Amino acid sequence: MKKLIALSLIFVLALSAFAGGAKEGAAAKKVTANIASTFPPDSPQDKGMNKFKQLAAERSGGRVEILIHPSNAMGDEKQTFELLSQGSVEYGALGSNDISTYFPKYYISEVPYVFSSQDDFWKYWNGAPGKELSALIEKERGVKTVGVIYRGARYLTANRPVNSVADVKGLKMRLPPVKAWFKVWEHLGALPSNIAFGEVYMALKTGVVEGQENPPETILNYKFYEAQKYMIATEHIYSAARMMASAKWWATLSAADQDLLTKAMDEGVAHANAITKDGDAQFVKKLQELGMTLITVDKDAFKKAVQPVLDQMAKSDWDPAYYEKVKAALK
């Protein structure tokens, strides 16, 4: 009997040791995560991602490896979002195309002149409206927002001077396929065309279009200054770069790895935001040094000119209750 009990104890201890070893093995499992990034190397967003990569590797003893694929190497914003939703890629760095494409009733934050400042930007994304939208995207499409990076205010660039609202009339300009943006710029008298981002430089260089709009860091990093003479400080949109993760992939991670990656991402995002906080002025100065002429315009005049379009979209395009929350957050 004693022998039987002893054998049983040995068996139990061996089983416990095996289970413990299995847990340790699971905890020590190598993690490789790809970031499908729509931003170029050396951009503030890319620097934030590299900080995240460095911290994840250091804190895991090299067990967690982050692979960054910049400049749309894995697809444009829409394709990247679909990969995240399907669980085909672990992380993505993108703008707001997913919101305008899949959640148009909530696409308010990046419509011209809804925000008036960087302060408005953070009131939105750190406040109830931004958190509500991020939660909706995760629930509906399985894509988690794990960080928001301020990209800067969007400037208009052109090959002819634009000093006032009247000067926009007849301007052939490139826009991404965002319905709200087309409405606003057409209302101002521009002639917008939908040209893929990767084709913008050549479209400007060859005169297919004579203008475009983007944050100064994008104008600099994609060398649009080589094809554009004037940089107009319309500051019509305060753009976000969003770090996203596949919820399907995230659910496969241990709690410890989720915690490690969350903290590393928070620090990487903070690093990027430290660069962009006052970055517009630095990028604008560099662009001027490279030959662009800066034009300052009456932004209130532009905002007044587009207000009828905003009022119309509030009635026909946007979720009324959500729009009220946005307005309340910006007070």
pLDDT tens string 81-96: 999 999 999 999 999 9
State the average pLDDT for the chain.
Answer: 92
Side by side, the strands of the sheet bearing 230-232 are 191-194, 172-175, 211-214, 155-158, 230-232, 293-295
Q: At 68, is the pLDDT very low, low, confident or very high (cuts 50, 70, 90)?
A: very high
Q: At 279, is the pLDDT very low, low, confident or very high (cuts 50, 70, 90)?
A: confident
Write the pLDDT tens digit of every residue in 183-201.
Answer: 999 999 999 999 999 999 9
Task: Kindly state the average pLDDT of the residues 213-223.
Answer: 95
Task: Kindly state the average pLDDT of the residues 113-139.
Answer: 97
Least confident of 17-21, 235-239, 292-296: 17-21
Q: Looking at the domain covering 30-326, what would its CATH class be?
A: alpha beta
Write the pLDDT tens digit of every residue in 157-174.
Answer: 999 999 999 999 999 999
| DSSP three-state, residue 26 | helix
Give kind and range of the element (H or E) at residue 326: helix 320-329
Least confident of 2-6, 217-221, 270-274: 2-6
User: Is pLDDT of 13 > 90?
Assistant: no
For the chain, the structural domain boundaries read 30-326
Q: In b/e form, how buried is each residue of 82-121, taking b as 16+ CB within 10 angstroms? A: bbbbebebbbbbbbbbbbbbbbbebbbbbbbbbbeebebb
Give kind and range of the element (H or E) at residue 243: strand 238-246
Which tokens sit at 8? 């049983």
Global pTM reads 0.87
User: Is pLDDT of 175 > 70?
Assistant: yes
Task: Kindly state the average pLDDT of the residues 260-272.
Answer: 98
User: Is pLDDT of 22 > 70?
Assistant: no
User: Is pLDDT of 18 > 70?
Assistant: no
Pairwise CA distance, residues 219 & 86, whole Å: 32
Q: What percent of the chain has pLDDT over 70?
A: 92
pLDDT of residue 74: 98
pLDDT of residue 10: 39
User: Is pLDDT of 4 > 50?
Assistant: no
Which tokens sit at 194? 């939908």
Pairwise CA distance, residues 121 & 198, whole Å: 27
Give DSSP secondary structure letters for 120-135. Answer: HHHHHHSSHHHHHHHH
Q: At 15, is the pLDDT very low, low, confident or very high (cuts 50, 70, 90)?
A: very low
Which tokens sit at 6? 């002893």
Task: Kindly state the average pLDDT of the residues 107-136.
Answer: 97
